[in-house]
Homo-oligomer: A and B are copies of this chain.
Amino acid sequence: MWVRNAWYVAGWSNEFDAGRVHARTIIDQPVALYRTGDGKLIALEDRCCHRFAPLSMGRIEGDDLRCMYHGLKFAPDGRCIEIPGQKLIPQSACVRRYPVEVRGSWVWLWMGDPAAADPQAVPPSLALDDPAYRLKAGHLDYTAHYLLIDDNLLDLTHLSFAHENTLGQDMPQWADERPRMLPLERGLRVQRWIRNHRPRGFMRKKAGDCADVWNSYDFVFPGLFLQRTGFYPAGTAERSPNAEPPEPPLFYRVDEQAVTPISARASRYFYAAGARSEDIDPERLDRLFAVTQTAFGEDKALIEAQQKMIDLDPDRRMIPTNSDAGPTRFRNLVDQLLATDGTPSSGTAGLRPASL
């Protein structure tokens, strides 16, 4: 089951260069993206209404897109405006168009009813070229249902184990203590202190031998993850136990990620990581990003293996622990969205474990 009425990340905006038609699949729907003459991004159903050839194999003609099988031409609103050798164009000759928003550095598609698309509802994110930050970006393709990736991001307990040599090094606190959670519109805010952390490498120069680390992220459907991690002098957590301190941090790491469901067993994971511009130079950003990518490879290996185990015995019940609070609350939210706006997915349905 898919939630159609939502903004989904189709890609980094710099993926969609002009002069080419780009094929993407989101919640089992094929989409062709191209830019009109003035650079505006258009997203149409990637399937000609005539014989179902992909429009992404077609040709951009001015603002329009022509299917290069039998030559039907479509306007940016999805209407067929030319059928070779035929004067009359039936009204049914059209393809779906998807509302597009370019916001931050992502291209967002509204996969449901266009009339319901609210540009204000696009979740906030950082732009890669924001001068206040220095960021690097990438993406990974998963052979797994997107909710397994969401689960991973909503329970950072796994940093102490899955990432014991990368992002969670010397940080047993991720597993030992539970964060605070606050409800957001279609999501959750997750916040915590990691006290008395001993930074390594160049981080030690920035944040000292012992730091209190404030971690806060917003997680919004379908998988937007916007995280800020501030390093403060040890003792700061004592003074500001439940909130980000008012003073500027010694080091301020930022992460933004987005999970996009492609099909029941395929997902794309977009990520950018970095810090304030004054905190990091390009070479250190390279190192921070390299460690981050190693960690994301660790997640991918675990989550794809987890998916295989689920598929081997789809009816088995998971045993919940205290650390599941985030995934559990978010899955309940997804259930509510599906109840009002669900559309069947391809492939097996029964992904959601009964215990959540």
- Which A positions have Cβ atoms within 8 angstroms of B? 28, 30, 46-47, 49-54, 57, 66-72, 83-86, 90, 92-93, 151, 155, 157-158, 160-162, 164, 172, 175-178, 301-302, 305-306, 309-310, 312-313, 316, 318-323, 346, 353
Contacts and interface: CB of A to CB of B under 8 A. Distances in A.
Q: How many copies does the complex hold?
A: 3
Given A85-B177, A86-B322, 18 more contacts: A30-B309, A30-B312, A50-B318, A52-B306, A53-B302, A54-B309, A57-B302, A57-B305, A66-B161, A68-B302, A71-B160, A84-B160, A84-B161, A85-B157, A86-B321, A86-B323, A93-B321, A312-B346
Contacts of A66: 161
A46 B312 CA distance: 11
A165 B79 CA distance: 27
A347 to B, nearest CB: 11
Contacts of A49: 318-319
A157 to B, nearest CB: 5
A49 B151 CA distance: 16
A150 to B, nearest CB: 12
A310 B53 CA distance: 9
Contacts of A72: 321
A301 B57 contact: yes
A320 B72 CA distance: 11
Contact of A84 (B28, B51, B323, B346): B323
A69 B177 contact: no
A172 to B, nearest CB: 8
Q: Chain B CB within 10 Å — which of A46, A164, A320 has the most?
A: A320
Contacts of A151: 51
Give the 5 A-B CB pairs with smallest separation, nearest first.
A84-B175, A52-B309, A49-B319, A71-B161, A86-B322
Given A85-B176, A157-B71, A318 B52 contact: yes
Given A28-B312, A177-B85, A178-B85, A318 B51 contact: yes
Contact of A319 (B28, B50, B305, B306): B50
21 contacts: A28-B312, A30-B312, A46-B309, A49-B318, A49-B319, A50-B318, A51-B318, A52-B306, A52-B310, A54-B305, A70-B155, A70-B158, A71-B160, A71-B161, A71-B175, A83-B321, A84-B175, A85-B157, A85-B178, A85-B323, A93-B319
Contacts of A28: 312
B68 A162 contact: yes
Nearest to A346: B312
Nearest to A307: B52
Contact of A85 (B85, B305, B322): B322
A84 B312 contact: no
A30 B312 CA distance: 9
B161 A69 contact: yes
A353 B68 CA distance: 20
Contact of A162 (B69, B90, B301): B69
Given A84-B160, A319-B92, A305 B346 contact: no
